[in-house]
């Protein structure tokens, strides 16, 4: 009786340990995914801001072309500096887009890994049924052994 009870307790304890470990790992993966998602959102906001600045700059240049002729504009704006600034802005935008895509791919990979690693409902249901069957069988055996023990003790008297 005691051995069976100890064995059942050890089995339940092992199952609880595995469940706790799975919970801990999935919690860590979720935290990592949340952090990556926040980073993506921050990069996305930065990218939107840069694109807005670029669009504003393009609108400004279009308005300047409409209002002034190119000779007057050339004397007021250093074209070389402007082109260099635009190239740097374009490089920064490319870098930001690359970072956003990299982080997004990593988050998708983590999300896929989470989806693949977690047990589905049917697996959990089958596991629960197995545990319940084992538990009920063990309880029946314990009751049967107790009844046999009690009836045997009654015969001795």
Closest CA to 113 of 19, 1, 25, 11: 25
Which residues of the chain carry a pLDDT beneath 70? 68-77, 118-120, 150-157
Number of folded domains that form the chain = 2
- pLDDT, residue 157, reads 46
pTM of the model as a whole: 0.33
Domain check: are 42 and 114 in the same one?
yes
Domain check: are 41 and 112 in the same one?
yes
Asked whether the beta carbons of 43 and 99 are under 8 A apart, the reply is yes
Give me the percent of the chain exceeding a pLDDT of 90. 31
* Cα(61)–Cα(156) distance, integer angstroms: 108
Residues spanned by the domain of 33? 25-118
Examine residue 6 and state whether it is found in any structural domain, yes or no: no
* Cα(107)–Cα(24) distance, integer angstroms: 19
Condensed to tens digits (0 to 9), the pLDDT of residues 98-143 reads 888 888 888 788 888 877 776 667 777 888 888 899 989 888 888 8
Residues 6+ apart with CB under 8 A from 25: 117
Examine residue 8 and state whether it is found in any structural domain, yes or no: no
Domain check: are 98 and 35 in the same one?
yes
């Amino acid at each position: 009786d005691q051995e069976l009870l100890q064995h059942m307790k050890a089995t339940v304890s092992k199952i609880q340990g595995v469940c706790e470990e799975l919970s801990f790992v999935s919690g860590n993966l979720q935290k990592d995914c949340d952090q990556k998602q926040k980073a993506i959102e921050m990069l996305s906001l930065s990218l939107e801001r840069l694109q807005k600045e670029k669009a504003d700059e393009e609108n400004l240049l279009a308005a300047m072309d409409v209002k002034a002729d190119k000779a007057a504009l050339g004397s007021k704006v250093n074209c070389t500096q402007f082109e260099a600034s635009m190239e740097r802005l374009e490089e920064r935008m490319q870098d930001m887009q690359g970072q956003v895509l990299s982080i997004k791919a990593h988050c998708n990979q983590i999300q896929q890994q989470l989806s693949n690693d977690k047990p589905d409902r049917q697996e959990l249901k089958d596991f629960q049924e197995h545990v319940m069957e084992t538990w009920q069988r063990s309880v029946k055996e314990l009751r049967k052994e107790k009844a046999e023990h009690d009836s045997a003790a009654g015969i001795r008297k």
